[in-house]
Amino acid sequence: MAFHIQQSLSGFIASDPQQSVTENGDARFYVRIGQPHFRHEYSGSFTALEPTFHDLVAYRATAERALNRLAKGDSFIAEGYVHTFQVERDGEVIQREEFVAKKIGHDLARTNYQVDRTHLDSSDTARDTEVKHEAEAAHTGSGR
């Protein structure tokens, strides 16, 4: 089976998260995010450049989880896609874009935390066992 691949985005939460509700009644999460940029120098070192800032949104369950877990200053990694749209400002139509996060979480390389697994129930354990058996079968079937 082929990999399911989407666009990804990493950076830091630059604004306080905002919560709203869509016309359909779905939860919506909105933040401004920053992306650090660096220039690789001839010497092998890196020079920090000014970050760029962008809009990020999430909807439904992802929005609710993000609102509970993410705060200004957090480093994150998100999976999703870029949504391009037009808005009218002062009679002029301008092109805007936002990253729509379908999945989002803290960046492991830049965040210290502990994982709480007390919520695991028997169905999670059964699923994990099934995945382990499938992985073992694939490994054994590969002739290694």
**Domains in the chain, ordered, with CATH?**
7-113 (2.40.50.140)
22: pLDDT strictly greater than 50? yes
122: pLDDT strictly greater than 80? no
- Tokens read off for 24: 């359909």
**pLDDT-derived band of residue 141, with 50, 70 and 90 as boundaries?**
low
The answer to whether the beta carbons of residues 33 and 18 sit under 8 Å apart is no
Kindly report, residue by residue over 83-92, the tens digit of the pLDDT.
Answer: 999 999 999 9
CA distance 5 to 25: 29
135: pLDDT strictly greater than 70? no
Average pLDDT over residues 23-33: 97
144: pLDDT strictly greater than 50? no
32: pLDDT strictly greater than 80? yes
142: pLDDT strictly greater than 50? no
> Which residue would you say has higher pLDDT here, 103 or 116?
103
Which secondary-structure segment (H or E) carries 138?
Answer: helix 122-141
Nearest partner of 81 among 142, 1, 136, 5, judged by Cα: 5
DSSP state of 103: E
Bridge partners for 28 per DSSP: 20, 59
Transcribe 64-91 into DSSP letters: HHHHHH--TT-EEEEEEEEEEEEEEETT
Return the minimum-mean-pLDDT range out of 15-19, 64-68, 102-106, 131-135. 131-135
Backbone angles phi, psi at 31, to 5 degrees: -145, 155
- Tokens read off for 8: 């990804």
Average pLDDT over residues 117-140: 64
Mean residue pLDDT of the chain comes to 89
The confidence score (pLDDT) of residue 116 equals 86
Q: Which residue has the tokens 């016309």?
A: 23
